[in-house]
Structure 1
């Protein structure tokens, strides 16, 4: 019996056809060929508002489209997040989706009177973050510290209990067509192994 995988496609273009879509599709193809179950959440096609208040974040209900995505993530053994690097971070639409979905009661507990929270709502799951970028990946990692990916892996996924959280940085995606093909093959392999 294979694993259950949820792929969060975080590219904000609802038309598809971007390299992030190709990477996610390669992963899904590899996973399905190995007998894993795959749920795809295409964030660009979901309808949800921005969170604007702490009260809504703490006590509001997730919009219906986000609740469906939460169910896919809750059922999964492994989570894949794929997105392009925009202005040094994830696109705003993906950030808004994560704010809507990683709420108290789903990803972690409510805030305590002392201000602390109990994490671990998604304990027992693993994750992989895949980020594409125009710059070389080593420049983002070593010169810029990969700050946004570190925050996502530690402060969101890690705090929610996911372990391990692996990171794949795919650099210079627009300048190297041969490398793009190699990354697709690599992603298919990750899918087969559910990594």
Structure 2
């Protein structure tokens, strides 16, 4: 069964030599080969201003690139968000993007208790890091990934959320190729 899949490449560096871009390409190729409908956002290539006040977030008009991203999210049944772990968290550009798109009325209905507006979607987080993934998962308890899942994605109704943690990204060529194959296979499955 084909899905509408949105791939959000959250690497802030547009240099195509970045491994996150290759992983996004591999996932997209697998998904496309299996008949899934693919849309892509490469955050390094779009205008994402930082929000500086609550008034901007609640009452401001999203810039054109953000409004287009919101529409792509609205069309998606499954989101694949790829990013490098920087200083133990998402890069600032990805955080700025999330703040921009998750505005009241799009991601949450305002009220005493915010109501999620993006239900019916699933997601996969693909996170690259220099340290071994098992060390990040067990020593640091994958805190950034858990926060992203709980405090952003599930808050707005995106559930279930799966994780793919890829450590030692500066490692050997064979391991990097194996991960590209795994992402291709995840894309094929639409997972």
TM range (shorter): over 0.9
Contact 2:48 2:93 in 1 (8 A): no
Q: Aligned residue for 1:117? A: 114
1:2 CA displacement:
1.6
Tell whether 2:99 aligns with 1:103: no
Name the CA distance, whole Å, in 1 between partners of 2:102 and 2:176. Answer: 31
* 1:178 counterpart = 2:162: no
Residues in 2 aligned to 1:8 and 1:92: alpha-carbon distance in whole angstroms: 15
Q: Which runs of 5+ in 1 are unaligned?
A: none
SS at match of 1:144: coil
Alpha-carbon distance, 1:152 to partner: 0.6
What are the Cα deviations for residues 62-105 of structure 1, in whole angstroms up to 9, with x where unaligned? 11001111111110110000000000001101110111011111
Question: After TM superposition, what 4+ stretches of structure 1 lie above 2 angstroms from structure 2?
Answer: none
Aligned length: 191
Q: Name the one with the larger strand percent.
A: 2
* Aligned 1:40-189 pairs, distance under 5 A: 40-110=40-110, 112=111, 114=112, 116-118=113-115, 120-189=116-185
Q: 1:48 deviation in Å?
A: 2.6
TM-score w.r.t. the length of structure 1 is 0.95
